[in-house]
């Protein structure tokens, strides 16, 4: 089985930035679970039905996912958020496994904001967590998405804290600035390749 490396980190930590470096420097295939989840919600009628019965008919307007309505509910209701993630997770997992079969690489990276929260970390061989100071993350997201601090803070509250993520991670990338990010991913890439080789020998 090809090795799966999970890549996660809180909102604004720089997951996508780091994932792009693995792709550009080492041609590692990247599966972006958050984007795929949105595609699957748009495509799968059975999933749409399940979401409607959890959150209400308004979750879709003219067949389109009503993200504002959904966010309004789930980011103030942890139970609903978890239930929604549990509905989506099996679809993403199946899609990921299919995608992985078509990749030709020593390992693939699965990037997800909710790698731990969804339980999907259990299917990864190794895990990379990207961290950055909370204030810096909030500042980045305000700049990138033009959304207000309150909304970002609400989302952060629903994510696991870094301490708990780090405990279950193989590698941690401190992404407080862009300095040495190339060195950091080079080191991690080499270690992953070594571990893959060691496992192949055993």
- Positions touching ligand ATP (CB under 6 A) are 9, 11-17, 113, 140-141, 144, 175, 177-178
> Closest Cα to residue 10, out of 151, 117, 119?
117
At its nearest, how many Å lie between ligand ATP and the CB of residue 83?
21
Question: Is 15 marked as a binding-site residue?
Answer: yes
Question: Is 14 marked as a binding-site residue?
Answer: yes
- End-to-end alpha carbon distance in the chain: 14
At its nearest, how many Å lie between ligand ATP and the CB of residue 179?
8
**Bridge partner list, 30:** 109
Instruction: Output 59 or 141, the one with its CB closest to ligand ATP.
Output: 141
Question: Is 6 marked as a binding-site residue?
Answer: no
Contact between 40 and 92 (Cβ < 8 Å) = yes
Instruction: Output 2 or 32, the one with its CB closest to ligand ATP.
Output: 32
Question: Is 17 marked as a binding-site residue?
Answer: yes
At its nearest, how many Å lie between ligand ATP and the CB of residue 14?
3
DSSP letter for 78, please: H
Instruction: Output 1 or 143, the one with its CB closest to ligand ATP.
Output: 143
Cβ within 8 Å of residue 79, ≥6 positions away: none
At its nearest, how many Å lie between ligand ATP and the CB of residue 144?
4
Cβ within 8 Å of residue 112, ≥6 positions away: 6, 7, 8, 32, 33, 34, 118, 120
Instruction: Output 124 or 173, the one with its CB closest to ligand ATP.
Output: 173
Question: Is 110 marked as a binding-site residue?
Answer: no
Structure tokens at 120: 């999907």
Point out the annotated binding site for ATP: 12-17
- Binding-site residues sit at 12-17
């Amino acid at each position: 089985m090809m090795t799966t490396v999970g890549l996660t980190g809180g909102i604004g930590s720089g997951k996508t930035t780091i994932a792009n470096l693995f792709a550009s420097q080492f041609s590692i295939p990247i599966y972006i679970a958050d984007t795929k989840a949105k595609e699957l919600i748009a495509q799968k009628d059975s999933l749409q039905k399940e979401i409607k019965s959890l959150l209400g008919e308004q979750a879709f307007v003219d067949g389109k996912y009503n993200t504002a309505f959904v966010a309004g509910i789930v980011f103030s209701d942890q139970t609903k958020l978890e239930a929604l993630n549990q509905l989506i997770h099996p679809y993403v997992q199946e899609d990921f496994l299919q995608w992985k079969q078509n990749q030709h690489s020593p390992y693939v990276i699965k990037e997800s904001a909710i790698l731990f929260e969804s339980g999907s970390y259990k299917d990864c061989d190794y895990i990379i967590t990207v961290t950055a100071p909370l204030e810096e993350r909030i500042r980045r997201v305000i700049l990138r998405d033009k959304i207000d601090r309150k909304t970002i803070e609400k989302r952060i509250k629903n994510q696991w804290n870094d301490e708990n993520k780090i405990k279950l991670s193989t590698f941690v990338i401190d992404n407080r600035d862009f300095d040495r990010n190339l060195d950091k991913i080079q080191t991690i890439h080499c270690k992953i390749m070594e571990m893959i080789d060691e496992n192949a020998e055993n």
